[in-house]
Structure 1
C-alpha cells in the first residue's frame, strides 16, 4: 500500500518535493489555499496583459536541468528558453546607464570601458566565483542542514577565509568604479542580504549572473510552474486548490494525526509544509512548536516588496527586459530595510518589461511592466503610501529614460506587505524568506524535519538552502530525501 502524504502549498519547493515523493511511490496530495497553484510565482492576467506576480529572473539554468533530468525530462520538454542579450541594464543617472551583455567577453569590454584594468580583476573574481559555484552546487546546497560538519569539506576548508570576509570587501579590493561595484554587489539581493553582511563565498551568484547568464522562459516564469505541475500530475500527484489548512492535529505521542482543511478532518500521519514556516507552526498546539515568537523576532529577514503591475498603451524606449534603477544610494536604502525599518526616502527599484522579449505579455503595440521596490517586512502598508511610491518611481522612470509614460498607463495593480500576509501567510509580509547571512546559513536555519512532531517536515525559503527559485527547487529535493530516509523501512499509511 502506498504511503500517503499531504503537502501544504504549491510553490516551487512544494512542487519539487511532490514530484520526488510521487516518483518514490508515495500518494501525494497538494493542498493550496489560493485558487491557482504556484505560490509566490502565480500569474496575473488582465485585459490582454500577462504578469508574473512573483519571480521574473531565470538564473542558474543548470539547477532546473538537474531537476527535470531526475525524471528523465528536460526543460525543453515543457517550455522554450531564450538567453537574454542584453541580460539587463542599470541606470545610474539621466542618460547614464550601463548595459550588461549576454556574453562574457562582451562583459569584460564593458568593464574595461568603464574602468581601464578592471577586466583583469573581474576575470580573477569570476575564477574564484566559478570554484565557489561548483563547490556550492555539487557539495553544499543539497545538504539537509542537520550539522555544521556538512560545511567541512576539503574545498570549503581551502576557502575558509571567504566565509569570514564579506562580498563587499572582496568586490571593492580591486574595483574602484562605483557603478561597477554596484553591478557586482547587486546579485546578492537575491539572497536577501546586504553585501556588507554576505560572506564572500557567495560570489558564486556573480558566476550565475555573468557566466551562466540570464534567461527567459517563453510565457514567463509561470511556465516553469505549469511544467512542474504537469510533471507532478503525470506522476500521480493530486492537487486541491481553495484548500485552506486551518490546523495540524497531533496525538498524545507527538505524532501528526490529521489536518483540518476548510473545516474537514483529513487523517494523515505525514505532512510536508511548503507554506510559511512560522505560519505552519502556529497551526500546531503551542507545546509542539519548535521556534518561539522571540526566535522569529530575532532573525534577519530578507526584504518584502512593493510591486506594481502596469500596462502601457505604447512601447517604451531606452529600457531592457530587466532594468535596474540605481540612481540613489544603496546603503541608505538598505538601512531602511535592515537597520531602522521604515519606508525608504529614495528607494532603488527594479523594472521588468518582458513584452520587449516576449509578445505574449502584452497586446500588440503595448508594453507590460513589473516594478519592484525592496522594503522592510512588517512596515505599514496603505493604498495612499503605495500611490505615493508609484508616482515617485514613474517620475524617475520618465526622467532617467527621457520619455513620457504616465499618460500611457492603461492598467495598474499593486502587491505589497498586506498581500504577502493575506495570500501566503508570510511572516511580517516578507517576500524572500530569511536572509542568507553567515549566522543564518545551512545548519543555522530552521530545520527541514520537526524536532517535536513526528511526521512533520518543512521545505521552502525559510529552511535550507535559502531564498530564490533554484534554492527552492533544491529545498524540495532535500525535504523529500529526508522523508524517504526517515520512512525507508517504516510503513506510514
Structure 2
C-alpha cells in the first residue's frame, strides 16, 4: 500500500520530491499558492513582448540537472535547447574588464596573461576543485544529515583532508593567485552560497569547477523551461499539481499530521512535505510541535536578499554580454553591508543579465530584456524611493560600460522586486532570496533537519535545509526527502505502509 502525500510549494525541491515519490507509486499532490509552478523561478511576460525569468539565471552544474531527467528515462534535450555561453560572463572592474571564455584552455591563457605562472596554478586549483565536486556532489550532498555517522565511511575519511573543510575560501584562493582581480574572479561563485569568502569553507571551490570548468549555459526560452520540464516529468509519473491553493494551517495530534487546511477546506494525507519556507511552515504548527523557536532563526546567518529590476529597454544595448558582473567597488565593503552593518550599500556591486543577447524570443525586435540584481541584507527597510535611486545609479554604470546614454528614458517596462516582495510572495524569512548561508556552522548536520522531530509524517525540503541554496542542491534536496518518505513506515487504518 502506497502513501498519499502532500507537497507544499512547487519550487525545484518540491517538484523534484513529487517526481521521485510518484515514480515509487505514491499518490502525490502539489499545492502551490501562485497560479504557476516554480516558486522563485517563476516567469512572467508583458503585452509588449518581454519575457522575464523572476529568479535563477545561472545554469551551472549541468550534470546534476541532467541526472534528474536521466532518473526518469529522459534527457534535458527532450525538453529544451541548452546553449553554452561564450563568454560565460564578463566581470567589470574600475579600470578593466575580464571576459571568462567558454573553454577552460582559453581561461588558462587569460589567467597567464594577467598573472604569469597562474595558468599552471589554475590547472592545479581546478584539479582539486574537480575532486571536491565529485566527492561533494556524489557523496556529501546526498546525505539526509540526521547525524554525523552518515559521513563515516572509508571513502569520505580518506578524502577528508583533500576537501579543505577547515580552510576558508579566501585564504585558499590566495594560495594560488596573488592578482587581486583574479582572486575576486575566483571568489565570485561562492557569493551564491550567501556569505563572505572569509566564512565559506574551501570545499566550495567545487563551485568553480561546476561553473568555470563545466561552462555556463542558458535554456532557450528562459530558465523557466527547466521548471516546465520538471513539471512534465512529475506529471508523467502521476503527480497532480494544484495552483492557487494556499496551505493555511497544519493540524496535528498524537505525533502525526491529521489534516491540512487549504483554501479553507480540510484535506487528509499520510505524509506532508514542505517545500515552502521552513520558518513559515512551522508558523502553521502549534508552538510545541515546531522543530525550532524564534531565537533559533534569529541566530542563523541568512544568505542575502536582493533588489531586482525587470526592465524592457526599447533599443539594443551595445557592448553588454548575457551575464555581466559590475565589480568596480570593493567586494568586502558590499559584503559588510549585508552581514555586518545590515544596511544599504554606499558603493554597491550588481549583476546584469541580458538574455535577449542570446534569445530573441524574450524581447521584442530591437528591444532588450534586462534583469538587474543587487544583493542586499535581509530584514532592512525597503521602499520605492530607495529602489529607484539604486536603479538610476546602476543604469548610469551600465551606460559608462557600454557607451550608451539615457537608458532610464528608454525603459518601456519596469518592475522592481525586493525584501518585502520576497516576504509577501514566498513567506521568506527576513525577505531572504537564497536561504541559509553555507557557513561551516550551518553545513550538513548543522542545517535545519529535513524531518520534524515531534511529528512522524512531516518533512522539509529546499534551500533552508540540506544540502543548501542553489538550483542543483534544491533538486537534490527533493530527491533526499523523497527517499526518506519512501522508506517511512507509518500506520494507516492500522496497517503498516
Q: TM-score range by the shorter chain?
A: over 0.9
Which of 169, 194, 198 in structure 2 is aligned with 1:196? Answer: 198
Distance 1:160 1:146 in 2: 23
Distance 1:41 1:457 in 2: 22
8 Å contact kept, 2:7–2:275: yes
8 Å contact kept, 1:351–1:371: yes
Q: Which residue of 1 aligns with 2:333?
A: 332
Distance 2:384 2:40 in 1: 21
Alpha-carbon distance change, 300 to 474 in structure 1, aligned in 2, over 3 angstroms: same
CA displacement, residues 31-54 of structure 1 (integer Å, 9 cap, x when unaligned): 001111110000021120011100
Distance 1:49 1:430 in 2: 26
Which of 212, 232, 239 in structure 2 is aligned with 1:237? Answer: 239
Alpha-carbon distance change, 2 to 146 in structure 1, aligned in 2, over 3 angstroms: closer
Matches within 5 A, 1:252-263: 253-263=254-264
CA displacement, residues 59-87 of structure 1 (integer Å, 9 cap, x when unaligned): 00000111111101111111111111110
Distance 1:160 1:138 in 2: 17
8 Å contact kept, 1:140–1:150: no
Question: Which one is further off, 352-361 or 148-157?
Answer: 148-157
Q: Which residue of 1 aligns with 2:36?
A: 36
Q: Which residue of 2 aligns with 1:264?
A: 265
CA displacement, residues 147-178 of structure 1 (integer Å, 9 cap, x when unaligned): 11333444544443711111100111231111
Distance 2:239 2:296 in 1: 35
CA displacement, residues 3-47 of structure 1 (integer Å, 9 cap, x when unaligned): 211100000000000000000011111000111111000002112
8 Å contact kept, 2:125–2:176: no
Alignment length (residue pairs): 491
**TM-fit CA distance, 1:221:** 0.9
Distance 1:260 1:392 in 2: 46
Q: Which residue of 1 aligns with 2:348?
A: 347
Q: Which residue of 2 aligns with 1:103?
A: 103
**TM-fit CA distance, 1:407:** 2.6
Secondary structure of the corresponding residue to residue 443 of structure 1: helix
Matches within 5 A, 1:308-327: 308-327=309-328
CA displacement, residues 283-312 of structure 1 (integer Å, 9 cap, x when unaligned): 001100010100000000000000000111
CA displacement, residues 116-144 of structure 1 (integer Å, 9 cap, x when unaligned): 11111111111110100010112111110
Q: Which residue of 2 aligns with 1:63?
A: 64
Alpha-carbon distance change, 195 to 184 in structure 1, aligned in 2, over 3 angstroms: same
8 Å contact kept, 1:102–1:213: yes
Distance 1:191 1:139 in 2: 19
Taking structure 1 as the reference length, what is the TM-score of the superposition?
0.97
Which of 222, 227, 236 in structure 1 is aligned with 2:224? Answer: 222
Distance 1:274 1:98 in 2: 38
Matches within 5 A, 1:38-437: 38-46=38-46, 47-93=48-94, 96-157=96-157, 158-160=159-161, 162-251=164-253, 253-404=254-405, 405-437=407-439
Distance 1:407 1:386 in 2: 17
Taking structure 2 as the reference length, what is the TM-score of the superposition?
0.97
8 Å contact kept, 2:3–2:270: no
Q: Which residue of 1 aligns with 2:484?
A: 482
**TM-fit CA distance, 1:233:** 1.3
Distance 2:160 2:272 in 1: 38
**TM-fit CA distance, 1:93:** 2.0
| TM-align CA RMSD | 1.4
Alpha-carbon distance change, 201 to 156 in structure 1, aligned in 2, over 3 angstroms: farther
Secondary structure of the corresponding residue to residue 163 of structure 1: coil
Distance 2:140 2:165 in 1: 13
Distance 1:369 1:151 in 2: 43
**TM-fit CA distance, 1:192:** 1.3
Q: Which residue of 2 aligns with 1:26?
A: 26
Distance 1:34 1:190 in 2: 25
Distance 2:245 2:114 in 1: 54
